[in-house]
Amino acid sequence: MSKDQIKNLIERRLPEAGLVDTALKGVQLFRVTEAIPCVPAVYEPTVVAILSGTKEAVLDGEHHVYGSNNYLLCPMTLPVEAGTPLASKDDPLLGVVIALEPRMMRELTMEIETAAGGNRKLRDGVPSALALASWDGGFTQALLRLLDLLDNPVDLEVLGPGRMRELCYAVLMGEAGAAARRAFGVGNEIARTIDYLSTHLNEQVTIDDMAHHVGMSRAVFHRRFKEATTMSPIQFVKSMRLNIAAMKIAEGKTVSEASWDVGYQSASQFSREFKRMYGQSPRQWAHDRQPTTGVA
């Protein structure tokens, strides 16, 4: 019943297709009524919860298709391809995007690990860059309680931070909790490296620079990075740069502006790598896409 209440809340606030910010910081509602193929995107630390329809995210060739039975956790900044290939007016995609505030997630993770003591179950798990989790009772109730605040500005102002903390706790304790705790807990060197890379994409950063940043040997850093993201550090940086460039081109920037913004100093190298990644030259990509907005 709680999921139906969340769905009704979204439908009431978003009767037409679109992506809207809410009065809750970092919380957006979306409705998609047409099929959108997977296109380059960059996911920030986020939870995406679907109430109807299906959504797709592709990371390094692995497809993650999810609907109302699962929510998606992205615990770190990642270059992906994302889309809504099955959305239609008769079967719209309805959902919520919740940005995860790193400081809150780190504090909660430390509290959970302290409370758990030596419980290995909370620390173990196969590394996962994108994780799908079932809508358990804790997550469902926490999301409903959070969105219910939108109807009362006073409740929102007073209770908002606490309800967001409750939702984050539900994520950390749910099926995707191990992935979240690895990203935000003690030993989160890879997530910290990705934060660093995200703000230095237009600079020439080497593997040695990245390894030194977190105090690891080159070999250990390379192995740990690939375990966490499925990509090598160099592949990750290249994917981030090309995805951001593709997004900028789709938004209307020129090819030369987009390539320069993400750190390419050679136009020919940018064109070669872009075509290898997306099967089109940057100019063909720009020609086929008008400036767009929507849900990635």
Q: Cα–chain-centroid distance for residue 61?
A: 16
Residue 31 and residue 94: Cα distance in Å, rounded? 5
Which residues have a Cβ under 8 Å from the Cβ of 185 and sit 6 or more positions away?
106, 109, 110, 113
Helices (H), 214-266: 218-229, 233-250, 255-261
β pairing state of 70-74 and 62-66: unpaired
Q: Which one-letter DSSP state was computed for residue 42?
A: E
Q: Which residue has the higher pLDDT, 128 or 176?
A: 176
Residue 256 and residue 266: Cα distance in Å, rounded? 10
pLDDT tens digits, residue range 201-253? 888 888 888 888 888 899 998 988 888 888 999 899 999 999 999 999 888 88
Helices (H), 102-232: 102-116, 137-148, 153-173, 177-184, 189-198, 207-213, 218-229
User: Residue 293's pLDDT band (boundaries 50, 70, 90)?
Assistant: very low
| Residue 178: Cβ-neighbour burial (10 angstroms; 0-12, 13-18, 19+) | buried
pLDDT higher than threshold 70 for residue 289 = no
pTM listed for this prediction: 0.85
* CA angle at 209 for the pair 203 and 210, rounded to the nearest 5°: 95
Confidence at residue 189, expressed as pLDDT on a 0 to 100 scale: 82
β pairing state of 36-43 and 78-84: antiparallel
Confidence at residue 190, expressed as pLDDT on a 0 to 100 scale: 84
263: left (phi over 0), alpha (psi -120 to 50) or beta: left
pLDDT tens digits, residue range 101-131? 988 999 999 898 888 775 545 555 445 689 9
CA atoms within 13 A on the CB side of 140: 14
Confidence at residue 69, expressed as pLDDT on a 0 to 100 scale: 92
Q: Are the C-beta atoms of 6 and 147 separated by less than 8 Å? A: yes
Rg (the chain; Cα; Å)? 20
Residue 125 and residue 58: Cα distance in Å, rounded? 21
